[in-house]
Amino acid sequence: MVKTEIRKEADGSVFATVVGKIDEHFDGKEILQAADSARKVSLKMDGVRSISSLGVRALEVFMNALGDRQVVLEEISAAMANQVTMIPNLLGSATVKSARLPFVCPSCGAEGAHSVPYESGAGTTHAPKCEQCGKKMEFDGFSEEYLPR
């Protein structure tokens, strides 16, 4: 089940937050309706916990339905970043601005999710400082599974 929150911006674009698990029931219908005359759609997806294999297909159909609008994805979750990195065609011509990914502090072990630009090497170049001890945090996992090469 996915919950969406939709906001129309002053410039006519649509901003939607998507939260939950994307499965075969996902159709993004409310977003498509709200985006009817919009030229630009921004999707904030840090709340997407998981995507099932049928959900990948549903997401692909939704992205296609957005057509030639400018589509920008912000703060995609680790689950989402993992799928997008494995299946580069998944999002069509949409742009991914940033991903919210897990980091761990090598010094004190503190963990946390941080938003980094969705670009090659961002797990290192944009690693945040630990809020507990100030040391540079490290990507928690294999960053090449979540970010472009």
Nearer to Zn ion, 61 or 133 (CB): 133
List 72, 90, 94, 110, residue binding Zn ion (CB under 5 A)? 110
Neighbours of 88 (CB within 10 A): 8
131 touches Zn ion by CB under 5 A? no
Assess 80 for contact with Zn ion (CB under 5 A). no
Q: Which one of residues 54, 86, 87, 133 is an interface residue with Zn ion (CB under 5 A)? A: 133
Among the residue ranges 12-20, 81-89, 99-107, 120-128, the one whose residues contact Zn ion (CB under 5 A)? 99-107
Residues with Cβ within 8 Å of 53's Cβ and at least 6 positions away in sequence, in order, are none
CB 124 within 8 A of CB 104: no
Q: Are 41 and 66 in contact (CB under 8 A)?
A: yes
118 touches 111 (CB < 8 A)? no
Task: Please report, as ranges, the residues that interact with Zn ion according to CB under 5 A.
Answer: 105, 107-108, 110, 130, 132-133, 135
